[in-house]
Amino acid sequence: MAESSSARFIVSGRVQGVSFRAATRQEGQRLGLRGWVRNQDDGTVEVFACGGEELLRRLEEWLWRGPAGARVAMVVRFPASAEPLAGFDVRF
């Protein structure tokens, strides 16, 4: 089994009001990651995810595309400490 890693992503561009959170939750679940996604007051979307490094890389690649209505300008990845999580949720 691959070692678990954690990462935090900040996604900017046209990423709010285009179902970005719901689509990110679906992609995180599809990949078998644990984590959460939420809108930020500055118009960005924050994503926290835990799982194997390859799966985190695949999530990051997906974040650059996002759902059909999104126009992603930038994805920045930060290291993060693991959180005790089950599943992948949308946070408000």
Active site residues: 21, 39
The DSSP H or E segment spanning 29 is: helix 20-31
d(CA 26, CA 82): 20
For residue 91, how many other CB atoms are within 10 A of its CB?
12
Dihedral sign from CA coordinates of 22, 25, 26, 27: positive
Q: Which residue has the tokens 């799966």?
A: 55
